[in-house]
Each structure stands twice: as C-alpha cells, then as structure tokens.
Amino acid sequence: MAIPDFQSIMLPLLTALTDGQLRSTQQLDDALGPVFKLTEDERNALLPSGTQSVFRNRIGWANSYMRKAGLIESPKRGWMRITPAGQQVLAEKPARIDIRLLRRFPSFLAFQETKREDGVQTAKEPNESQATPFEALEAAFGRIQAALQDELLEQVKAMSPRFFERLVVDLLVKMGYGGNFRDAALAVGRSNDGGIDGIIKEDKLGLDTIYLQAKRWSNTVGRPEIQQFAGALQGRRARKGVFLTTSSFSAEAVQFSYGIEKIVLIDGPELARLMVEYDLGVSRIESFDVKKIDSDYFTE
C-alpha cells in the first residue's frame, strides 16, 4: 500500500489515542504502520531532504493540524494525547477526518486566517492538496531547481567554445580541483573542436592528477569516444579521468564506462546541477529558513 497522505492519517491517529494515554511519535509510528499495511521500505522512505521519513513527517503534520483544531494536545514535545473535543469527534464515528471537518472548529479557522495574513496560503485550498506544507515546499523547490537547470543548460549550449572552456575551469576550481584558477587555466589546453583536454590537479596540493575531456556537443557521445578517452588515459598512465559533455551519453557509452572505475561521465543535466550546487552562473534571489523547536533549549 502507498504511504497515506497526512489527511488520511488523521482518523487512525486520533483513534490510536482514544484511551486518553500519552503516546510518543515513535509509538504512533509503530501502531499506524500496520493499519496502513506499510512495508519496511515504505515506513523508512525519506523525504527528498533526507532529514526524516515521509510517514513520520505526515504523522507530525496530521498531529499539528488536529492540535490547531483542539482535538489533540501535546504536553511535551513528541508526545500526544486526545482531548475531550477529540473524543467527541470520534463518538460521531466520522468516515474521515480532514481539513474540511477541522474547519468546524474556531481555533482551526483562526489558524488558517493567520496563514493567509502571513502570505503563506497556497493558491489551492488545503483540502484539495494531499501534501503536507513541508512536502509542498520541497516539491515547489524541486520544480524551481529543475526549471533553472534546464534554462542554465540551454544558456551554456548557446555560448561560444571559448566561453565553455572557461566555464569548465571555473566549475572545477569551485569544486576544489586545480588548486586555483591560474593553475587550472594553465593545465587545461584548448582543442580545435570546442572541447578541452588537459591534466588538472585533483587537490590543492597536487597529490594526484585527473585527465579531463569536455565536449560542447549537441549529438550524443557514444562508446567510441569513451573508448578513445580510456585509451588516452592508458597511454598517459593516468589513474583518473572525467569526460564532460553538454549533451548526453549513449547507453553503450555508459555501460562501457561501468567497467572502468577511473572514468566519470558528466552529461549536460549533471553539469547544470553542479553549476547550481556550486553557485556558478546563478545568483540567489530569495532564501527561506525552515526551523524547528530546539528541544535541548527546553530541557530543565
């Protein structure tokens, strides 16, 4: 069974608290997993940020929304207990508890109005979305990043071969290779086809070197080009090599590279991703700090 959305978790979560006892998030995770027939892999699946499991995060948001409605209280962080209002809702035997039902409660309506005043309310009403606010934020960020990377790659393809040579050097230096820009620029020589071939330091001390080949191509890079690159490495007794292109690698090229541990392939999308990660050719226009309670501060 797929991991349920946070609204689908609300009724089973409240039901698990029906005896009025305090339950920890971990206890509820263990209790609700079998209810939804989740596998271990589904229970352990992480958010894109890798900071928390998807299931645990959705339990947290289901708890948070029902607390805003007064159905659950949390005397201490990570622990929950049903309230009289929550018991009353369960006595009505609802088929489902969701945001539409929670709007019956003035405290939840006040919470939603506060979100609107703060400019956080999304274009969609919450009951139309199955994602938690954190998941929606991560999904929106992912879409922005994907669009930026696509636009960035198109921009790179439109530039001159000379500019591309400089871009590769800039990226390598930002990633910690080449020592500094001057060292990297001296190590990398130009070729006549818009690519660059050269030897560059792996670290600032120059303890090892990497043979580099980069092609500003539109066509797919095939196995013959990778075989030729591997031969060049062997001829120079080089231990490591990076083949970088603005296009893509054929399946045969990728399969051939798997058998050669010392060769790394970087295609156009990966190039754009690295440029974004290392702030090359991009600038920050906005930043959002997502914070949580510091439980250590509140320890007495």
Inside any domain, residue 225: yes
- 283 in any annotated domain: no
pTM exceeding 0.95: no
86/160 same-domain check? no
Whether 269 and 159 map to the same domain: the answer is: yes
pLDDT at residue 173, as a whole number: 83
User: Residue 246 pLDDT more than 60?
Assistant: yes
d(CA 72, CA 126): 20
pLDDT at 128 over 50: no
Range in 83-92, 132-141, 173-182 with the lowest mean pLDDT = 173-182
pLDDT at 31 over 70: yes
CA–CA distance, 213 with 127 (Å, rounded to integer): 52
**Quick one: 163 and 269 in the same domain?**
yes
Q: Is 48 inside any structural domain?
A: yes
Residues 288-299 have pLDDT tens digits of: 788 888 877 777
Q: Is the dihedral of CA 146, 147, 152, 158 positive or negative?
A: positive
Is residue 115 domain-shared with residue 163, that is, in the same domain? Answer: no
Same domain (yes/no): 110, 181: no
Structurally, the chain folds into a number of domains equal to 2
Structural domain contains residue 42: yes
Question: In sequence order, what E strands does 108-240 have?
Answer: 188-190, 196-201, 209-215
pLDDT averaged over the chain? 83
Task: Quick: pLDDT tens for 103-117.
Answer: 999 999 888 776 555
The pLDDT assigned to 139 comes to 81
pLDDT value of position 121: 43
Question: Residue 180: which CATH number?
Answer: 3.40.1340.10
In a domain, 286, yes or no: no
pLDDT at 208: 77
Task: Show the domain range for 51.
Answer: 6-131
Residue where a domain terminates, one of 100, 131, 162: 131
- In a domain, residue 145? The reply is no
Please report, for the domain that includes residue 60, its CATH number.
1.10.10
Residues 181 and 103 grouped into a single domain: no
Report how far residue 82's alpha carbon sits from residue 75's, in angstroms, rounded to the nearest whole number: 11
Do both 158 and 270 map to the same domain?
Answer: yes
> Which residues in the chain belong to E strands, given as ranges?
23-24, 72-73, 79-82, 188-190, 196-201, 209-215, 241-245, 263-266
Distance, in Å, from the CA atom of 5 to the CA atom of 209, rounded to the nearest integer, reads 49
User: 24 and 113: one domain?
Assistant: yes
DSSP-derived pairing of the beta strands 196-201 and 209-215: antiparallel
Choice among 53-57, 181-185, 265-269 with the minimum mean pLDDT: 181-185
Structure tokens at 78: 């990570």
Is 234 part of a structural domain of the chain?
A: yes
Same-domain status, 14 and 61:
yes
Q: How far is CA 60 from the centre of its chain?
A: 20
Instruction: Kindly state whether residues 164 and 239 are assigned to the same domain.
Output: yes
Q: Cα separation of 102 and 63, whole Å?
A: 12
Within-domain flag for 296: no
Per-residue pLDDT reduced to its tens digit, 178-229:
766 666 655 555 444 434 567 777 766 667 778 888 888 889 999 999 988 8
Residue 122's pLDDT is what? Answer: 38
